Amino acid sequence: MFFALGPPPPRILASDLCDLLETYLEAQQVREIYRAYFFSAEAHDGQKRKSGEPYIFHPLAVAYILAKMRMDTQTLCAALLHDIIEDTNITKEKLASEFGKQVAELVDGVSKLSSIQFETREQAQAASFQKMLIAMNRDIRVIIVKLADRLHNIRTIGAMVRASQRRIARETLEIYAPIANRLGMNAVRVELQERSFATLYPLRYRVLAQEMQKLYSKRTKIYHSIQSTIEQRLNQCCIEANIVKREKHCYVLHENMRDKKKANSVDKRKTFSQVTNMCALRIIVNSVDDCYRVLGVVHTLYKPICEHFKDYIAIHKVNGYQSLHTTLFSTHGLLIDIQIRTMAMHQIAENGITAHSISQFDKEMDCPHEATNYVARKRTQEWLHGLLEIQQSASDSLEFLEQVKIDLFPDEVYVFTPQGKILQLPKGATAIDFAYAIHTDVGNKCIATKIDNQYVSLSTQLVSGQTVEVLTAKWARPNPSWLNFAVSARARSYIRHFLKTLQYDDAVLLGKRMLDKELAPYSLSVDKFNEKQRAHLLETFKVDNLDSLLAEIGLGNRIALIVAHQFHPSSDISIKAPQLTEESQSKPLVIKGSEGILVNFARCCRPIPGDEIVGFVSTGRGVIIHTAACRHVDEYRQSPEKLLAVEWESQLSGEFLVDIRLDVRDKRGVLATIATAIANMESNIKQVSNESSDFIN
């Protein structure tokens, strides 16, 4: 199916909608939807779209899209009213009194946040998207209405200015098409992708569409021959089946051509002939047993490519999709890409959670054996619950949206727990993603993992079919380096949340130590502040509480010296400051080497206990410790307020990184000898680099 960027689709009239509704709804329900149409038409009276047509034609078209999915009365009323709160003076309360609370909640969930002012368009979009996804947790029909709304908008995008077209198309490809895919709504996903691609790259789309039409015309006889051969063999085996040709879509072809060859070390992209050298067929049968019988038949006709076989019937895709996939060698020089499924599987594959009436969702969850698309909806409910957890740990809407985009990554790997439970994870997921998929506490306290009973690194990428076991310890906690290889949105969100909490706690403790050091000349400390002194600091520095002020000092966002200067006798504050004395001199800040993530040791000079050291307060990073002889210290002296007098604690225990340079003869086994010597000293090698020299001794 190819989508040309031509004139907009024909207008949908109220009579067209009613004719369609009468095919599956009762007369009373149709009248209620018609009443919603009149209410919406009156509210939008005088408003026009960018195309110049009356605005009401947009809600009508959205409702018609949903009616073709056979959606329920409340969803269709919400579709007709979906822009009421956002674009008119009608309130949510008014909608609730007219059409009920559920319809009002659906409309509110789809509406953007217009009452809050944001600094950028991106922040506004992210906040509105976050609001919509939270509403999805209460009622999945919110996103169904939004997808239909976006589908009609992308069909009529030609009336928008070019900049808006590109913005909407890009947002559709990044967010709404993946959501449709995640919900199993394949037909909606394909049209969103194709129209968005045609909007962003009209020339590329047109060239690809023309080439595909030519290719199909040339290969008609070949496709017919392959199809006839399979049909004849199935008839001989008494298997009823419907074989249809699958069309490749331009967006998918474009993305496949952009993918670099995995098997070739040369950095090349795939050519058009490589991604189209395939005859794609779909075989629809009556039962699951017939699916596997057909698989055996086609494998006897043509030789299969073993690594391309996928059994999504035994192990469903994360969106509930089921089919057998296999790729075969044909005698015509083409590969044959075959999908085998039942009609019920096909309905779910195309329509996802809308394959059957969405209003029966709760009933089906209670009686799963009565629902053919129970798995799709159960997985959707689990996904929405996961999104809610991510939202609770995200610091802002932009971070939440970033994590959701990661979670919408389409490919998955399937791995097993030691108890045999299957977990779906994003492609490229590592052992740490597996740990967080089991439970947050398992991820936070993970210390090691086993894959197929062999110990592996936490950064090891998982492969489908592996059995993964996680080892934990009560003392363990997330490491910032995990963010370098964690892939799943859940894992990344919880690691970030933990580190932010840990960073805040460390910042408060470090800030208190730094402020106490600067308060020492005034015979003061944080613990000795009276209520009047506390109140003055909070008012002066515009913070809500003392911990917030200490955290800002610890993070380097405020200078402890400036805060302490508020108590200098010369300062014009109403608080009686203690007098400076010669005896109360400022003492250096004592460094233990284990303060946490906000006391860092500079890589340029690698300070270790015994070195003379200085501290530099770095914005957002806390205190960076350098040796006094470091070449960077002279630069830091230009900001003396950020320099900090520090010294080592007398009793230290722990490990510190140092750089060691060794000049050795280049001979066999020398590196092993050095590593053994270092290990015998109970030390460990973090990193090794070597360079050769022409020097000969």
pLDDT score recorded for residue 574: 43
Same domain, 222 and 194: no
| In a domain? residue 5 | no
Residues in the chain: 697
Same domain, 142 and 23: yes
Residue 178 CB partners (closer than 8 Å, separation 6+): 189, 405, 408, 409, 410
Same domain, 556 and 514: yes
Specify the 3-state DSSP secondary structure of 176: helix
pLDDT score recorded for residue 360: 47
pLDDT score recorded for residue 584: 43
- Give mean pLDDT, residues 97-123: 75
pLDDT score recorded for residue 363: 45
| In a domain? residue 436 | yes
Tell which of 304, 323, 352 closes a domain.
352
Same domain, 19 and 150: yes
Q: What is the pLDDT of residues 6-37, one digit of tens each?
A: 566 788 999 999 999 999 999 999 999 999 99
Q: Which long-range contacts (CB under 8 A, 24 or more apart) does 304-307 make?
A: 304/328, 304/329, 305/329, 305/335
pLDDT score recorded for residue 405: 66
Between 378 and 262, name the one with better pLDDT: 378
Same domain, 90 and 187: yes
Please report which confidence band the pLDDT of residue 273 belongs to, taking 50, 70 and 90 as the band edges.
confident
pTM: 0.65
Q: What is the CATH number of the domain that holds 280?
A: 3.30.460.10
Please report which confidence band the pLDDT of residue 265 belongs to, taking 50, 70 and 90 as the band edges.
very low
Q: What is the pLDDT of residues 352-384, one digit of tens each?
A: 877 765 444 444 444 443 344 566 667 777 676
As a whole number of angstroms, the distance between CA 13 and CA 41 comes to 12
As a whole number of angstroms, the distance between CA 433 and CA 492 comes to 8
Residue 505 CB partners (closer than 8 Å, separation 6+): none
- CA torsion angle 651 654 659 665 (round to 10): 110
Same domain, 193 and 254: no
| In a domain? residue 566 | yes
Between 502 and 484, name the one with better pLDDT: 484
> Tokens 């990428």 sit at which residue?
461
| In a domain? residue 274 | yes
| In a domain? residue 371 | no
Please report which confidence band the pLDDT of residue 174 belongs to, taking 50, 70 and 90 as the band edges.
confident
Same domain, 505 and 567: yes
Q: Number of helices (H) and strands (E) in the chain: give both, helices first.
A: 29, 16
Q: Letter for the amino acid at 182?
A: R
Cα-flanking dihedrals φ and ψ of residue 46, to 5°? 95, -15
- Give mean pLDDT, residues 587-605: 72
Q: What's the number of domains the chain is made of?
A: 5
Distance of CA 130 to the CA centre of its chain: 13
Catalytic residue among 16, 87, 311, 647: 87
Same domain, 45 and 170: yes
Tell which of 487, 516, 537 closes a domain.
487
Rg (CA), the chain: 32
| Domain span holding position 246 | 212-259+268-352
pLDDT score recorded for residue 597: 62
pLDDT score recorded for residue 373: 56
Q: What is the pLDDT of residues 225-245, one digit of tens each?
A: 999 999 999 999 999 999 999
Q: For 225-229, 566-570, 571-575, which range has the lowest pLDDT when averaged over its residues?
A: 571-575
Q: For 299-313, 608-622, 640-654, which range has the lowest pLDDT when averaged over its residues?
A: 640-654
As a whole number of angstroms, the distance between CA 478 and CA 672 comes to 32
Helical segments of 524-669, H only: 531-541, 546-554, 560-564, 633-636
Residue 504 has pLDDT above 70, yes or no: yes
Per the CB < 8 A criterion, the answer to whether 326 and 304 are in contact is yes
| In a domain? residue 405 | no
Whether 32 is catalytic: no
Mean pLDDT of the chain: 81
CA-nearest of 573, 588, 662, 598 to 628 is 588
Whether 86 is catalytic: yes
Catalytic residue among 16, 86, 402, 611: 86
DSSP secondary structure letter of residue 431: H
pLDDT score recorded for residue 147: 92
| In a domain? residue 360 | no
Is the C-alpha dihedral spanning 628, 632, 633, 634 positive or negative? positive
- Give mean pLDDT, residues 376-404: 68
pLDDT score recorded for residue 115: 45
Share of the chain above pLDDT 70, in %: 81
Residue 666 has pLDDT above 50, yes or no: yes
Per the CB < 8 A criterion, the answer to whether 327 and 305 are in contact is yes
Q: What is the CATH number of the domain that holds 419?
A: 3.10.20.30
pLDDT score recorded for residue 237: 92
Same domain, 443 and 526: no
Same domain, 67 and 105: yes
- Give mean pLDDT, residues 135-158: 87
pLDDT score recorded for residue 570: 56
Q: What is the CATH number of the domain that holds 82?
A: 1.10.3210.10
CA-nearest of 617, 678, 625 to 649 is 625
Residue 328 has pLDDT above 70, yes or no: yes
Tell which of 569, 586, 603 closes a domain.
586
Cα-flanking dihedrals φ and ψ of residue 282, to 5°? -125, 130
Residue 582 CB partners (closer than 8 Å, separation 6+): none
Share of the chain above pLDDT 90, in %: 27
Residue 668 CB partners (closer than 8 Å, separation 6+): none
Residue 285 has pLDDT above 80, yes or no: yes
Is the C-alpha dihedral spanning 284, 289, 291, 297 positive or negative? negative
Same domain, 39 and 81: yes
Q: What is the pLDDT of residues 70-84, one digit of tens each?
A: 999 999 999 999 999
| In a domain? residue 397 | no
Same domain, 23 and 114: yes
